Amino acid sequence: MGATKTEHFSPKVNAIASLAKAIGHPARVAIIEYLLKVNTCICNDIVNELPLSQPTVSQHLKALKEAGLIQGEVEGNSICYCINPKAIEKLNNYFGKLSAKISTEHLNCCTK
């Protein structure tokens, strides 16, 4: 026991969970915010920006990359990381749909 039973859930559900999980850490939210703010991206900037060691930041960047939320490109001796718009769009789409569903079909219980 202990391991998530991903295989029992649909690919769609797993896809959303995996994106959300990647964002589910403040350091990784901060990284995304920073990439968006500077609108250009070299990892060392991020290390300086975060209250975490270089290896830890590298690890978080890896997690974001594996989830498809950011992309990295070798650029000289540093690496250019930036947001993958498609991943954010997927999340935006998903929560947009949830929101729409909720506001149209107002729930028939828990009426508080």
Partner DNA sequence: ATTCTTTATCGTAATATTGCAATATAATTT
Partner DNA sequence: AAATTATATTGCAATATTACGATAAAGAAT
22 burial level (CB within 10 Å; 0-12, 13-18, 19+): buried
* 27 lies in the site for DNA, by CB under 7 A: yes
Q: Which amino acid is at 36?
A: L
Determine the Cα–Cα distance for residues 88 and 40; give it in Å rounded to an integer: 17
| Residues from 14 through 33 that contact a second copy (CB under 8 A) | 14, 16-18, 20-30, 32-33
- For residue 14, give both structure tokens: 């797993």
Could you tell me the CA-to-CA distances from 73 to 13, 49, 83 in Å, in that order? 29, 20, 12
* 83 lies in the site for a second copy, by CB under 8 A: yes
* 105 lies in the site for a second copy, by CB under 8 A: yes
Nearest Cα to Cα of residue 15 among 90, 96, 98: 90
Number of residues binding to DNA, judged by CB under 7 A: 31
Nearest Cα to Cα of residue 87 among 32, 9, 6, 25: 32
* 69 lies in the site for DNA, by CB under 7 A: no
Residue 66 binds which one of DNA, a second copy, none, with CB within 5 to 8 A depending on kind? Answer: none
* 40 lies in the site for DNA, by CB under 7 A: no
* 51 lies in the site for a second copy, by CB under 8 A: yes
* 99 lies in the site for DNA, by CB under 7 A: no
Q: Which residues bind a second copy (CB under 8 A)?
A: 4-6, 8-10, 13-14, 16-18, 20-30, 32-33, 36, 39-41, 51-52, 71-73, 75, 80-83, 85, 88-89, 91-92, 95-96, 98-99, 101-103, 105, 107-110, 112
